[in-house]
Chains A and B, each alone.
Chain A
Amino acid sequence: MQTNEFLQAMILTELEDAVGAENCSANPIDRVTHSVDYYWLSRMWADRGRRMPEADIVVSPKDAQETAKVLKIANYYKIPVTCWGGGGGTQGGAIPVCGGIVLDTKRMDRIYEVNTESMYIECGTGAIYKHIEWAANEVGMATMHYPSSLNCSTVGGFLAHRGIGVVSTKYGKIDDMVLQMEVVLPNGDIIHTSPAPKHAAGPDLNQIFIGSEGTLGIITKAQMRIFAQPEERRFRGFLFQDMHAAFTASRELLQKFKPSVMRLYDPAETATLIKKIVGVEKPGAFMNVAYEGCREMVEVEERILLDTFHKYGAEDLGSEYGEKWWEEKITFFYPGHMMDLPQMFGTMDTIAPYGKIEEIYDAMKDAVETNFPQARFIAHFSHWYEWGAMVYDRFIVEEEHVPKDPVEALRLHQQIWTAGVRAAIAHGGVVNDHHGVGIKLGRLMKEQYGPAMQVFEGLKRQLDPNGIMNPFKLGL
């Protein structure tokens, strides 16, 4: 549909009526701030003095009812709606590439209930996760969801792209932390998922919307799990000279108990980021393990950990490096502590069973380093299961090798991503582990899923027949 100044003004008044004039804006500052997220390409574009695609109107509803009104208006006029939480995503999922409406969820930040009997906090999905953590801490509990973006990202943002935190190995991913959700469908209907997350009442509605990146509806409220604070949390640093030994040791450990933190850094990342932030000077692959809970259990777990890792030749570095890492776990995310413009970089996290993960790491490293000699490749493995692990591969291109022309820089960035993620898929990995798909990886979803993609496409057609919800994201 073609819009014009008159129609735009008419639509604006309808949206103002829905959410209040003060929560509806077409001002440049609102449009600009909702056009650049944490995606390298959007940052590079802005750094070169270019304006990213902007929404025509930014709206901030306060609850599901107001969200429903906005979606009904958008559906009537067939206007694209892109959902924006904290904007801290790395995949371009929140960028309004087709203009239209950006629906900012942050006014939906109410904490409705802190339930210490059933161990959850019910909140609006616009709540910043750190604020949920504060609410849990006030009653002596914790959310145990600690990603680097804890301070700035929303509950809905983490749900929308299936986020993960640093203590996931024990407590789970964001998709393990939800009990029930309220979702506004594209037609404006407000629905609730099952009252309990484990059931035999058909497929899991939660898991249909978690990870859907705003393409199937907007999650407006959620019950997020909370946990008792551990009586004790201990850390132990290790140095492996052989990555294979580290994998074998870790797999064996996970058959015995679940540590909260397990992070294995390859020799390249140990020699750079870990040396800088944590101070490990020796060559090798650094691994940090944390274990926590009741004191007696922690004692036993520590014994098992030391015995298991000793068997595979790990050098015990004591607790100091691990504690330092814990203190600095979010520091990595502040400017000046990690990669930043004018460097080009990307995180190609993927996940696979143990039988494939080493091969995937080697294949991705080879795909990046062989095809793009100007790129460095570093990696760590930071979320572990009984059956497999996640590899957090990163490529870095130094300033002198980054094309000056932004379109050329975009092209090189895309090529490296395609090569790296294709290598992962070819060797049994997944398009992404916990940053989501966004506009960055949509094209590769079809390559991974093949005919299975029709399940997502069918859902999209049924729920969003006008295709207004976050167009060109998730490959939909």
Chain B
Amino acid sequence: MTESSKKNVDSCRFCWMCRHICPIGKATGQERNNARARALGLSLVNRNALGLAEVIDNLYECACCGACTKECVTGWDPMLFTRQARLDAAMEGVLPEYIGRLVDNCLETGNAYGITEPEDFVQMEIQKHEKQEEILLFLGVDARYRAPLAAVNAIRVLETAKVSFTVLEKEPASGWQLEYLVSAVKETKEQMTACAKELNRFQRVVVFDPQDARICKREYPEWGVELTAEVVTFTAFVAKLLKTGALCPQNRNLTAVYQDPFQLARELDETQPAREVISAYAARREMLCHGKDTMWAGNLLMREWMPEVMLLVAADRIEQAERAGADAIVTASVSEYASLKAVKQDKIRILSLEELILGE
């Protein structure tokens, strides 16, 4: 573990001041689900009082959503040591079996789910946009393989706005899954570099999934991966289509709250475009934790090894939306949409931004 990570570990090991904003800790009520528990465990590992293998599962109970890092007034960063410890575990060969399997999938198929082809109906929509255009719509692995309707809806929104764009039949992995699972290994950078090479064939890349947007816009420069194409988030692109009149909003008779994806709000400083879009179609309210203070609502990758917890996390967010007096939650993240949708409830509608626009 680096000195910087050790310093962060020792600063966080006895401090719970970010407990209230940890979405997983709040949902599960388990003491181990907060930054302090991970730090305390790792501090004992660093002092040879505990083995890394004894805390490794706990390290994969963290979404790395950055709420704790944002909350810390001193500036300590629990994500730093969580990622570092995952890397150490990968290097020491003590990754849990369920993570090792997902890593292998990433390396073999480009996605943690180990799927090689999208479903036929998605493939058909993709093939309609094979032609090389200036704009690339980058769908991402979650939309292509786990939430195919979202992929189709994203394509339809751009079609509705009469945008000429390409969708790659074989889309490279952006590297976000590998980066999340094992952090900065050689293979992660290789994925990033290969992806950037493909993206650079276009003038502009509209990135549908905030998880990909974060990695392309924030991590590629950090890792020294050259990206010459202009990368735009799907939300920002759609907001612009509205402004230019390419999309004509209709009142959907809804009171909606926006589920800020942390990747956009906290890491890319983007909170307004989606709100502008929602306001054009619905009355908009705010949940208590919104914008940069957003509380994560679950994702598809972690559903692979902790599906019950993802349901609890999403249910917690639904409760917060209800308390805000909303009758719909609008999401801009494929993953959060799928998580929220998985909760069995009939009190509040879960809509993707695309569904709001398309009226579906």
Binding site for B on A (CB under 8 A): 22, 27-30, 32-34, 36, 38, 43, 46-51, 58, 60, 84, 86-88, 104, 106-109, 126, 128, 130-131, 134-135, 137-138, 149, 151-153, 330-331, 333-337, 341
Contact = CB atoms under 8 A, between A and B. Distances in A.
Interface stretch (B10-18, B116-124, B204-212, B267-275): B10-18
Contacts of B44: 32, 46, 49, 51
A140 to B, nearest CB: 13
A330 B17 contact: yes
B244 interface: no
Interface stretch (B72-80, B138-146, B235-243, B296-304): B72-80
B29 A334 contact: no
B41 interface: yes
Contacts of A106: 29-31
Contacts of B16: 86-88, 149, 151-153
A130 B71 CA distance: 13
Contacts of B55: 28-29
B108 interface: no
A130 B40 CA distance: 23
Nearest to B13: A46
Interface in B49-77: 49-50, 54-55, 57-58, 72-74, 76
A194 B12 CA distance: 41
Contact of B308 (A22, A126, A331, A336): A22
A51 B32 contact: no
A152 B11 contact: no
A50 B44 CA distance: 8
Contact of B74 (A51, A60, A337): A337
B50 A138 contact: no
B67 to A, nearest CB: 12
Contacts of A109: 26, 29
A335 B29 CA distance: 23
Contacts of B19: 86, 128, 151-152
B31 A34 contact: yes
A335 B15 contact: yes
A103 to B, nearest CB: 12
B288 interface: yes
B17 A333 contact: yes
B31 A46 contact: no
A336 B31 contact: no
Contact of A126 (B11, B29, B43, B74): B29
Given A33-B31, A60-B30, A151-B16, A134 B288 contact: yes
21 contacts: A27-B54, A28-B50, A29-B55, A32-B44, A36-B40, A47-B43, A51-B49, A51-B50, A87-B16, A104-B31, A107-B28, A134-B288, A138-B288, A138-B324, A151-B17, A333-B15, A334-B15, A335-B14, A335-B74, A336-B11, A336-B74
B73 A84 contact: no
Given A109-B26, A128-B19, A153-B16, 13 more contacts: A27-B54, A28-B55, A30-B30, A33-B31, A33-B37, A34-B31, A49-B44, A104-B31, A107-B29, A108-B29, A130-B20, A152-B16, A335-B11
Contacts of A333: 15, 17
Contacts of B37: 29, 33
B47 interface: yes
Contacts of A337: 73-74
Interface string B19-37: 1100000101111100011
Contact of A29 (B11, B28, B54): B54
A17 B49 CA distance: 32
Contacts of A341: 14
A334 B17 contact: yes
A43 B15 CA distance: 11
B153 to A, nearest CB: 32
Contacts of B40: 32-33, 36, 46
Contacts of B48: 49
A29 B43 contact: no
Among A33, A34, A131, A152, find the residue whose CB has the most chain B CB atoms closer than 10 A.
Answer: A33
A49 B17 contact: no
A153 B17 CA distance: 9
A38 B40 CA distance: 12
Interface in B226-263: none
A162 to B, nearest CB: 20
A81 to B, nearest CB: 16
Contacts of A128: 19-20, 26
A153 B16 CA distance: 8
A168 to B, nearest CB: 21
A336 B30 CA distance: 26
B17 A152 contact: yes
Contact of B58 (A29, A87, A104, A151): A29
Nearest to A150: B20
A38 B17 CA distance: 12
A303 B327 CA distance: 49
Nearest to A130: B20
A32 B41 contact: yes
Contacts of B344: none
A203 B51 CA distance: 52
Contacts of A331: 73
B17 A60 contact: no
Contacts of B47: 48-49
Nearest to B37: A33
Contacts of B12: 335
Contacts of B74: 334-337
Contacts of A126: 29
Contacts of A104: 29-31
Contacts of A88: 16
